[in-house]
Amino acid sequence: MFNRLILPLLLIHFLAATAIGCSCGRESKTNQPVSPQTDTASYVSKQPESTITPIVDDTTICVELPKVLPGQKVIQKSGFSLVYSEAHEQALWVAYELTASETNSSYARTDNFMSDPEVKTGSAMPTDYKGTGFDRGHLAPAGDMGWSSQSMAESFYMSNMSPQAQGFNRGIWKKLEELVRTWAVDYGAVCVVTAGVLTNDLPTIGSTGVSVPAYYYKVVLDNTGPDYKAIGFILPNASSKASLQSYAVPVDEVERVTGMDFFPALEDGLEESLESTFSVREWTWTSSSSNRDFGTESSSSASVQCLGTTQKGLRCKNRTKDPSGYCHHHR
Give the residue numbers marked as catalytic: 138
220 vs 254: CA distance, rounded Å? 11
Residues 6+ apart with CB under 8 A from 214: 197, 199, 202, 236, 237, 307, 324, 325, 326
In this structure, the number of other CB atoms found within 10 A of the CB of residue 296 comes to 12
Strand pairing partners for 319?
A: 305
Contact 153, 110 (CB under 8 A): yes
Among the listed residues 14, 171, 5, the one whose alpha carbon sits nearest the alpha carbon of residue 97: 5
Q: Percentage helix, strand, coil, to 5, in the chain?
A: 25, 25, 50
Q: Is 140 helix (H, G, I), strand (E, B) or coil?
A: coil
The 3-state secondary structure of 227-261 reads CCEEEEEEEECCCCCCCHHHHEECHHHHHHHHCCC
Which residues fall within 8 angstroms of residue 14, CB to CB, at 6 or more apart? 7, 267
